[in-house]
Structure 1
Amino acid sequence: EAVELGGPAFGVTDVTDLDADLTRQHSGEPLGERITVTGRVLDRGGRPVRGQLVEIWQANAAGRYAHQLDQHPAPLDPHFTGVGRCLTDDAGRYAFTTVKPGAYPWRNHHNAWRPAHIHFSLFGSAFTQRLITQMYFPGDPLFPYDPILASVTDPTARARLVATYAHELTVPERSLGYRWDVVLDGPSATWIEEGR
Protein backbone atom coordinates (compact mmCIF):
# COMPACT_ATOMS: atom_id res chain seq x y z
CA GLU A 1 0.00 0.00 0.00
CA ALA A 2 1.41 3.39 -0.95
CA VAL A 3 2.07 5.92 1.80
CA GLU A 4 0.92 9.48 1.12
CA LEU A 5 3.91 11.66 1.99
CA GLY A 6 2.46 14.95 0.82
CA GLY A 7 -0.35 15.02 3.36
CA PRO A 8 -3.30 17.34 3.10
CA ALA A 9 -2.73 20.57 1.23
CA PHE A 10 -4.16 23.63 2.93
CA GLY A 11 -5.35 26.43 0.73
CA VAL A 12 -6.68 29.90 1.41
CA THR A 13 -10.24 28.58 1.77
CA ASP A 14 -9.23 26.00 4.39
CA VAL A 15 -7.59 28.43 6.81
CA THR A 16 -9.83 31.26 8.01
CA ASP A 17 -9.19 34.50 9.91
CA LEU A 18 -10.79 32.89 12.96
CA ASP A 19 -7.99 30.28 12.98
CA ALA A 20 -5.42 33.06 13.51
CA ASP A 21 -7.36 34.95 16.23
CA LEU A 22 -7.31 32.74 19.30
CA THR A 23 -9.30 35.38 21.22
CA ARG A 24 -12.41 34.99 19.01
CA GLN A 25 -12.69 31.20 18.73
CA HIS A 26 -15.21 30.83 21.58
CA SER A 27 -18.42 32.50 22.78
CA GLY A 28 -16.65 34.74 25.30
CA GLU A 29 -13.42 36.68 25.75
CA PRO A 30 -10.42 34.77 27.12
CA LEU A 31 -8.71 35.99 30.27
CA GLY A 32 -5.26 37.53 30.06
CA GLU A 33 -3.18 40.11 28.27
CA ARG A 34 -4.06 40.18 24.56
CA ILE A 35 -1.09 40.15 22.22
CA THR A 36 -0.48 40.28 18.48
CA VAL A 37 2.43 38.15 17.27
CA THR A 38 3.61 38.67 13.73
CA GLY A 39 6.71 38.13 11.69
CA ARG A 40 8.07 36.67 8.50
CA VAL A 41 9.05 33.16 7.50
CA LEU A 42 12.26 33.37 5.48
CA ASP A 43 14.64 31.03 3.71
CA ARG A 44 18.43 31.07 4.19
CA GLY A 45 18.77 33.92 1.68
CA GLY A 46 16.24 36.12 3.47
CA ARG A 47 13.58 35.50 0.83
CA PRO A 48 9.95 35.17 1.98
CA VAL A 49 8.41 31.72 2.14
CA ARG A 50 4.90 32.16 0.74
CA GLY A 51 1.87 30.00 1.52
CA GLN A 52 3.60 28.37 4.51
CA LEU A 53 1.27 26.74 7.05
CA VAL A 54 2.13 28.11 10.50
CA GLU A 55 0.51 26.52 13.54
CA ILE A 56 0.82 27.59 17.18
CA TRP A 57 -0.17 26.13 20.52
CA GLN A 58 0.31 27.53 23.98
CA ALA A 59 -0.77 27.58 27.60
CA ASN A 60 -3.45 30.02 28.73
CA ALA A 61 -2.72 33.15 30.79
CA ALA A 62 -2.64 31.03 33.97
CA GLY A 63 -0.02 28.67 32.52
CA ARG A 64 -2.36 25.76 31.75
CA TYR A 65 -2.75 23.89 28.47
CA ALA A 66 -6.26 22.85 27.42
CA HIS A 67 -5.08 19.25 27.19
CA GLN A 68 -5.98 16.21 29.28
CA LEU A 69 -2.31 15.46 30.03
CA ASP A 70 -1.80 18.87 31.67
CA GLN A 71 -2.46 18.29 35.37
CA HIS A 72 -1.14 21.68 36.58
CA PRO A 73 -3.74 22.93 39.09
CA ALA A 74 -4.00 26.36 37.42
CA PRO A 75 -7.49 27.15 36.08
CA LEU A 76 -8.63 26.28 32.58
CA ASP A 77 -10.19 29.09 30.55
CA PRO A 78 -13.43 28.01 28.85
CA HIS A 79 -12.89 30.75 26.26
CA PHE A 80 -9.35 29.78 25.27
CA THR A 81 -8.16 26.57 23.64
CA GLY A 82 -4.66 27.82 22.80
CA VAL A 83 -4.31 26.59 19.21
CA GLY A 84 -4.23 28.51 15.95
CA ARG A 85 -3.00 28.44 12.39
CA CYS A 86 -2.53 30.68 9.38
CA LEU A 87 -0.84 30.77 5.99
CA THR A 88 1.99 33.18 5.22
CA ASP A 89 1.21 35.87 2.67
CA ASP A 90 3.26 36.86 -0.40
CA ALA A 91 5.79 38.65 1.82
CA GLY A 92 6.14 35.57 4.04
CA ARG A 93 4.21 37.27 6.87
CA TYR A 94 2.10 35.49 9.46
CA ALA A 95 0.01 37.08 12.24
CA PHE A 96 -1.79 35.76 15.32
CA THR A 97 -3.90 37.45 17.97
CA THR A 98 -3.81 35.56 21.25
CA VAL A 99 -3.18 36.03 24.98
CA LYS A 100 0.23 36.05 26.59
CA PRO A 101 0.79 32.57 28.03
CA GLY A 102 1.66 32.14 31.67
CA ALA A 103 4.72 30.36 33.05
CA TYR A 104 4.07 26.88 34.39
CA PRO A 105 5.78 24.26 36.55
CA TRP A 106 6.98 21.16 34.75
CA ARG A 107 8.68 18.92 37.36
CA ASN A 108 11.86 18.53 35.32
CA HIS A 109 13.98 19.44 38.37
CA HIS A 110 13.42 21.10 41.77
CA ASN A 111 11.28 24.25 41.45
CA ALA A 112 11.28 23.99 37.63
CA TRP A 113 9.17 26.53 35.72
CA ARG A 114 8.99 27.06 31.97
CA PRO A 115 9.21 30.70 30.85
CA ALA A 116 6.22 32.03 28.91
CA HIS A 117 6.45 30.71 25.35
CA ILE A 118 4.45 29.86 22.25
CA HIS A 119 5.13 26.68 20.27
CA PHE A 120 5.38 27.15 16.50
CA SER A 121 5.06 24.42 13.88
CA LEU A 122 5.91 25.15 10.26
CA PHE A 123 5.40 22.87 7.29
CA GLY A 124 7.33 22.94 4.06
CA SER A 125 5.89 21.61 0.82
CA ALA A 126 5.10 18.29 2.55
CA PHE A 127 4.17 17.31 6.11
CA THR A 128 7.44 15.38 6.29
CA GLN A 129 9.19 18.78 6.45
CA ARG A 130 7.67 19.83 9.79
CA LEU A 131 9.78 22.13 11.98
CA ILE A 132 8.85 22.83 15.61
CA THR A 133 10.30 25.66 17.67
CA GLN A 134 9.40 27.98 20.55
CA MET A 135 9.08 31.76 20.78
CA TYR A 136 9.85 33.48 24.08
CA PHE A 137 9.07 36.95 25.43
CA PRO A 138 11.70 39.60 26.20
CA GLY A 139 12.98 40.06 29.74
CA ASP A 140 11.60 36.84 31.22
CA PRO A 141 13.28 36.20 34.61
CA LEU A 142 13.00 32.42 34.10
CA PHE A 143 15.44 32.32 31.15
CA PRO A 144 18.49 31.36 33.27
CA TYR A 145 16.57 28.45 34.85
CA ASP A 146 15.16 26.86 31.69
CA PRO A 147 17.15 23.84 30.44
CA ILE A 148 15.38 23.89 27.05
CA LEU A 149 16.50 27.45 26.32
CA ALA A 150 19.93 26.71 27.85
CA SER A 151 20.31 23.78 25.44
CA VAL A 152 20.70 26.37 22.66
CA THR A 153 24.35 27.06 23.45
CA ASP A 154 25.01 29.76 20.82
CA PRO A 155 23.97 33.06 22.47
CA THR A 156 23.03 34.59 19.09
CA ALA A 157 20.81 31.63 18.21
CA ARG A 158 19.25 31.77 21.68
CA ALA A 159 18.54 35.50 21.28
CA ARG A 160 16.74 34.78 17.99
CA LEU A 161 14.16 32.73 19.94
CA VAL A 162 13.04 35.84 21.85
CA ALA A 163 10.42 38.06 20.24
CA THR A 164 10.83 41.83 20.15
CA TYR A 165 8.20 44.13 21.59
CA ALA A 166 7.00 46.31 18.69
CA HIS A 167 4.93 49.33 19.72
CA GLU A 168 3.92 49.98 16.10
CA LEU A 169 2.22 46.56 16.09
CA THR A 170 0.34 47.33 19.30
CA VAL A 171 -3.38 47.76 18.64
CA PRO A 172 -4.77 50.65 20.74
CA GLU A 173 -7.11 49.49 23.50
CA ARG A 174 -6.72 45.89 22.23
CA SER A 175 -3.32 44.14 22.23
CA LEU A 176 0.43 44.53 22.68
CA GLY A 177 2.54 43.78 19.60
CA TYR A 178 5.47 41.40 19.22
CA ARG A 179 7.60 40.67 16.16
CA TRP A 180 9.33 37.33 15.61
CA ASP A 181 10.83 36.08 12.36
CA VAL A 182 11.54 32.43 11.56
CA VAL A 183 14.44 31.44 9.29
CA LEU A 184 13.93 27.90 8.00
CA ASP A 185 17.50 26.95 7.12
CA GLY A 186 21.08 28.11 6.77
CA PRO A 187 23.52 29.63 9.28
CA SER A 188 20.86 31.94 10.77
CA ALA A 189 18.21 29.22 11.01
CA THR A 190 15.81 29.35 13.93
CA TRP A 191 16.49 26.62 16.49
CA ILE A 192 14.21 23.61 16.09
CA GLU A 193 13.34 20.88 18.57
CA GLU A 194 15.23 17.68 17.87
CA GLY A 195 13.34 14.48 17.25
CA ARG A 196 10.24 16.22 15.92
Structure 2
Amino acid sequence: MTPEAEFHQRDRDIHPPAYTPVYKTSALRSPRIPLWSLQNSLSEVTGPIFSPDELGPLDNDLILNYAKEGEPIGEQTIVHGYVFDGNGQPVSNTLVEVWQANAGGRYRHRNDTYIAPIDPNFGGCGRMLTDERGYYFFRTIKPGAYPFRNRINSWRPAHIHFSVFGTGFVQRLITQMYFEGDPLIPHDSIIATIPDRSAADRLIAKLDLNASRPLECLAYRFDIVLRGRRQTVFENKLQGG
Protein backbone atom coordinates (compact mmCIF):
# COMPACT_ATOMS: atom_id res chain seq x y z
CA MET A 1 0.00 0.00 0.00
CA THR A 2 1.33 3.44 -0.89
CA PRO A 3 1.19 6.52 1.38
CA GLU A 4 -1.20 8.14 -1.15
CA ALA A 5 -3.85 5.61 -0.09
CA GLU A 6 -3.86 6.85 3.51
CA PHE A 7 -6.23 9.34 5.07
CA HIS A 8 -4.87 12.67 6.24
CA GLN A 9 -4.75 13.46 9.95
CA ARG A 10 -7.43 15.87 11.16
CA ASP A 11 -6.59 19.57 11.30
CA ARG A 12 -5.64 20.43 14.87
CA ASP A 13 -6.17 24.14 14.19
CA ILE A 14 -9.89 23.47 13.70
CA HIS A 15 -10.67 20.63 16.11
CA PRO A 16 -10.69 21.12 19.88
CA PRO A 17 -7.37 20.48 21.65
CA ALA A 18 -7.46 17.47 23.94
CA TYR A 19 -6.71 19.56 27.02
CA THR A 20 -9.30 22.34 27.41
CA PRO A 21 -9.68 23.49 31.04
CA VAL A 22 -12.97 25.30 30.27
CA TYR A 23 -14.41 21.77 29.92
CA LYS A 24 -13.18 20.39 33.22
CA THR A 25 -13.37 16.66 32.54
CA SER A 26 -10.74 17.08 29.81
CA ALA A 27 -8.20 17.69 32.56
CA LEU A 28 -8.45 14.01 33.51
CA ARG A 29 -9.23 12.48 30.11
CA SER A 30 -6.76 14.23 27.82
CA PRO A 31 -3.37 12.70 26.90
CA ARG A 32 -0.26 14.51 28.10
CA ILE A 33 2.05 13.56 25.22
CA PRO A 34 1.57 13.98 21.42
CA LEU A 35 -0.24 11.16 19.64
CA TRP A 36 1.63 8.79 17.33
CA SER A 37 0.88 8.88 13.61
CA LEU A 38 0.51 5.29 12.41
CA GLN A 39 0.32 3.97 8.85
CA ASN A 40 -3.21 3.09 7.77
CA SER A 41 -3.82 -0.56 7.05
CA LEU A 42 -5.83 -1.78 4.05
CA SER A 43 -8.81 -2.63 6.27
CA GLU A 44 -8.90 0.92 7.64
CA VAL A 45 -9.11 2.62 4.24
CA THR A 46 -11.49 0.21 2.47
CA GLY A 47 -14.25 -0.53 4.96
CA PRO A 48 -16.57 -1.18 6.66
CA ILE A 49 -19.32 -1.91 4.11
CA PHE A 50 -22.94 -1.74 5.25
CA SER A 51 -26.05 -3.32 3.79
CA PRO A 52 -29.70 -2.17 3.98
CA ASP A 53 -30.53 -5.69 5.16
CA GLU A 54 -28.80 -4.87 8.48
CA LEU A 55 -31.33 -2.13 9.31
CA GLY A 56 -34.91 -2.39 10.47
CA PRO A 57 -37.82 -0.49 8.86
CA LEU A 58 -38.15 1.89 11.84
CA ASP A 59 -34.48 2.40 12.61
CA ASN A 60 -34.59 5.99 11.35
CA ASP A 61 -37.87 6.81 13.11
CA LEU A 62 -37.10 7.56 16.76
CA ILE A 63 -40.74 8.49 17.31
CA LEU A 64 -41.94 4.94 16.62
CA ASN A 65 -38.95 2.60 17.01
CA TYR A 66 -39.31 2.32 20.81
CA ALA A 67 -42.99 3.20 21.22
CA LYS A 68 -44.96 0.70 23.31
CA GLU A 69 -48.19 2.33 24.47
CA GLY A 70 -48.36 5.46 22.35
CA GLU A 71 -46.01 8.05 20.91
CA PRO A 72 -43.30 9.80 22.97
CA ILE A 73 -43.88 13.20 24.54
CA GLY A 74 -42.30 16.27 22.98
CA GLU A 75 -41.87 18.33 19.83
CA GLN A 76 -41.72 16.08 16.78
CA THR A 77 -38.81 17.08 14.57
CA ILE A 78 -37.23 16.11 11.24
CA VAL A 79 -33.45 16.15 10.87
CA HIS A 80 -31.93 15.66 7.42
CA GLY A 81 -28.86 16.48 5.39
CA TYR A 82 -25.98 15.17 3.28
CA VAL A 83 -22.67 13.47 4.06
CA PHE A 84 -19.73 14.68 1.92
CA ASP A 85 -16.08 13.74 1.71
CA GLY A 86 -13.22 16.24 1.74
CA ASN A 87 -13.66 16.91 -2.00
CA GLY A 88 -17.33 17.75 -1.67
CA GLN A 89 -18.45 14.44 -3.17
CA PRO A 90 -21.39 12.57 -1.62
CA VAL A 91 -20.61 9.59 0.61
CA SER A 92 -23.24 6.99 -0.26
CA ASN A 93 -24.29 3.86 1.62
CA THR A 94 -22.53 4.87 4.83
CA LEU A 95 -23.92 4.29 8.30
CA VAL A 96 -25.20 7.28 10.27
CA GLU A 97 -26.06 6.55 13.92
CA VAL A 98 -27.74 9.01 16.31
CA TRP A 99 -28.52 9.07 20.02
CA GLN A 100 -30.00 11.74 22.27
CA ALA A 101 -31.85 12.70 25.44
CA ASN A 102 -35.64 12.81 25.55
CA ALA A 103 -37.78 15.96 25.57
CA GLY A 104 -37.07 16.44 29.27
CA GLY A 105 -33.30 16.25 28.81
CA ARG A 106 -32.80 12.73 30.17
CA TYR A 107 -31.03 9.82 28.51
CA ARG A 108 -32.21 6.23 28.74
CA HIS A 109 -29.00 5.29 30.55
CA ARG A 110 -28.55 3.78 33.99
CA ASN A 111 -26.03 6.46 34.98
CA ASP A 112 -28.32 9.36 34.08
CA THR A 113 -29.95 10.50 37.34
CA TYR A 114 -31.39 13.83 36.16
CA ILE A 115 -34.79 14.63 37.71
CA ALA A 116 -36.61 14.56 34.35
CA PRO A 117 -38.62 11.33 33.96
CA ILE A 118 -37.83 8.53 31.52
CA ASP A 119 -40.25 8.51 28.59
CA PRO A 120 -41.53 4.90 28.29
CA ASN A 121 -42.13 5.36 24.56
CA PHE A 122 -38.78 6.91 23.62
CA GLY A 123 -35.49 5.04 23.32
CA GLY A 124 -33.40 7.90 21.94
CA CYS A 125 -31.39 5.86 19.40
CA GLY A 126 -31.58 5.42 15.64
CA ARG A 127 -29.56 4.67 12.53
CA MET A 128 -29.80 4.97 8.76
CA LEU A 129 -27.78 4.57 5.55
CA THR A 130 -27.12 7.46 3.19
CA ASP A 131 -28.51 7.07 -0.32
CA GLU A 132 -26.62 7.47 -3.60
CA ARG A 133 -26.62 11.27 -3.11
CA GLY A 134 -25.19 10.98 0.41
CA TYR A 135 -28.58 11.98 1.83
CA TYR A 136 -29.91 10.89 5.24
CA PHE A 137 -33.19 11.57 7.06
CA PHE A 138 -34.77 10.74 10.41
CA ARG A 139 -37.70 11.70 12.62
CA THR A 140 -37.27 12.31 16.31
CA ILE A 141 -38.35 14.27 19.37
CA LYS A 142 -36.43 17.50 19.92
CA PRO A 143 -34.21 16.84 22.97
CA GLY A 144 -34.32 18.98 26.07
CA ALA A 145 -31.47 20.81 27.79
CA TYR A 146 -29.96 19.37 30.95
CA PRO A 147 -27.51 20.46 33.69
CA PHE A 148 -24.05 18.97 34.12
CA ARG A 149 -21.35 19.44 36.72
CA ASN A 150 -18.84 21.63 34.95
CA ARG A 151 -19.54 24.82 36.86
CA ILE A 152 -22.18 25.55 39.49
CA ASN A 153 -24.87 26.23 36.89
CA SER A 154 -23.69 24.64 33.62
CA TRP A 155 -26.30 23.45 31.11
CA ARG A 156 -25.97 21.58 27.82
CA PRO A 157 -27.95 22.98 24.89
CA ALA A 158 -30.37 20.67 23.09
CA HIS A 159 -28.19 18.39 20.95
CA ILE A 160 -28.09 15.09 19.08
CA HIS A 161 -25.00 12.87 18.95
CA PHE A 162 -23.89 11.56 15.55
CA SER A 163 -21.58 8.75 14.48
CA VAL A 164 -20.70 8.61 10.76
CA PHE A 165 -18.31 6.05 9.27
CA GLY A 166 -17.44 7.68 5.93
CA THR A 167 -15.67 5.58 3.30
CA GLY A 168 -13.24 3.99 5.77
CA PHE A 169 -13.10 3.17 9.46
CA VAL A 170 -10.49 5.85 10.21
CA GLN A 171 -12.88 8.43 8.75
CA ARG A 172 -15.39 7.71 11.50
CA LEU A 173 -16.76 10.95 12.87
CA ILE A 174 -18.40 11.30 16.28
CA THR A 175 -19.87 14.74 16.84
CA GLN A 176 -22.87 16.66 18.14
CA MET A 177 -25.54 18.64 16.33
CA TYR A 178 -27.16 21.71 17.88
CA PHE A 179 -30.32 23.63 16.95
CA GLU A 180 -30.34 27.11 15.43
CA GLY A 181 -31.55 29.77 17.85
CA ASP A 182 -30.84 27.86 21.07
CA PRO A 183 -29.92 30.53 23.69
CA LEU A 184 -27.71 28.08 25.61
CA ILE A 185 -25.22 27.62 22.74
CA PRO A 186 -23.08 30.70 23.61
CA HIS A 187 -22.85 29.47 27.22
CA ASP A 188 -21.87 25.86 26.53
CA SER A 189 -18.44 24.85 27.87
CA ILE A 190 -18.05 22.01 25.36
CA ILE A 191 -18.68 24.19 22.30
CA ALA A 192 -16.26 26.71 23.84
CA THR A 193 -13.41 24.20 23.40
CA ILE A 194 -13.53 24.71 19.59
CA PRO A 195 -10.93 27.36 18.69
CA ASP A 196 -12.41 28.22 15.27
CA ARG A 197 -15.75 30.02 15.57
CA SER A 198 -16.77 29.10 12.02
CA ALA A 199 -16.10 25.43 12.81
CA ALA A 200 -18.36 25.66 15.85
CA ASP A 201 -21.08 27.28 13.72
CA ARG A 202 -20.99 24.26 11.38
CA LEU A 203 -22.29 22.13 14.26
CA ILE A 204 -25.52 24.14 14.39
CA ALA A 205 -28.35 22.75 12.26
CA LYS A 206 -30.34 25.39 10.40
CA LEU A 207 -34.11 25.62 10.49
CA ASP A 208 -35.42 24.30 7.15
CA LEU A 209 -39.03 25.34 6.61
CA ASN A 210 -39.02 23.85 3.10
CA ALA A 211 -38.53 20.37 4.59
CA SER A 212 -40.99 20.93 7.44
CA ARG A 213 -44.39 19.29 7.42
CA PRO A 214 -47.21 21.87 7.63
CA LEU A 215 -49.33 21.58 10.77
CA GLU A 216 -47.12 18.68 11.94
CA CYS A 217 -43.43 19.39 12.63
CA LEU A 218 -40.41 21.58 11.89
CA ALA A 219 -37.26 20.38 10.15
CA TYR A 220 -33.56 21.12 10.57
CA ARG A 221 -30.78 20.56 8.04
CA PHE A 222 -27.36 19.32 9.14
CA ASP A 223 -24.77 18.58 6.45
CA ILE A 224 -21.67 16.60 7.47
CA VAL A 225 -18.26 16.99 5.83
CA LEU A 226 -15.74 14.29 6.76
CA ARG A 227 -12.49 15.96 5.65
CA GLY A 228 -11.07 19.19 4.26
CA ARG A 229 -11.34 22.87 5.18
CA ARG A 230 -15.11 22.67 5.71
CA GLN A 231 -15.03 19.46 7.72
CA THR A 232 -17.44 18.90 10.57
CA VAL A 233 -15.62 19.10 13.90
CA PHE A 234 -14.67 15.85 15.61
CA GLU A 235 -15.65 15.41 19.26
CA ASN A 236 -14.38 11.84 19.62
CA LYS A 237 -10.87 12.86 20.71
CA LEU A 238 -8.60 9.79 20.47
CA GLN A 239 -10.96 7.92 18.14
CA GLY A 240 -10.66 10.41 15.30
CA GLY A 241 -8.61 9.79 12.17
**TM-score, normalised to structure 2's length?**
0.76
Secondary structure, in 3 states, of the residue corresponding to 1:17? coil
Deviates more, 1:120-129 or 1:168-177: 120-129
C-alpha contact 1:16 1:86 (8 A) present in aligned 2:
no
Aligned ranges for residues 67-146 of structure 1 at < 5 Å?
67-146=109-188
- Aligned partners of 1:78 and 1:116: how far apart in 2? 20
Offset of residue 10 of structure 1: 2.8
- Aligned partners of 2:167 and 2:90: how far apart in 1? 14
Offset of residue 7 of structure 1: 8.2
Q: Which residue of structure 2 aligns with residue 13 of structure 1?
A: 53
Q: Which residue of structure 2 aligns with residue 150 of structure 1?
A: 192
Q: Does 1:195 align with 2:238?
A: yes
Deviates more, 1:117-126 or 1:176-185: 117-126
Q: Does 1:30 align with 2:72?
A: yes
- Count of matched residue pairs: 193
Q: CA RMSD in A?
A: 1.7
Larger Rg: 2
> Among 163, 174, 184, which residue is 2:216 paired with?
174
- Aligned partners of 1:168 and 1:48: how far apart in 2? 21
Secondary structure, in 3 states, of the residue corresponding to 1:113? strand
Letter of the aligned partner of 2:191 in structure 1?
L
- Aligned partners of 2:105 and 2:79: how far apart in 1? 18
Pick closer, same or farther for the CA change 1:8–1:186 going to 2, 3 Å.
closer
Runs of 4+ in 1 over 2 A off after TM superposition: 4-10, 124-130
Offset of residue 124 of structure 1: 3.0
Offset of residue 177 of structure 1: 0.6
Percent of matched pairs sharing the same residue: 52
C-alpha contact 2:81 2:135 (8 A) present in aligned 1:
yes
> Which consecutive unaligned segments of at least 5 residues does structure 2 have?
1-42
- Aligned partners of 2:115 and 2:186: how far apart in 1? 24
Offset of residue 140 of structure 1: 1.1
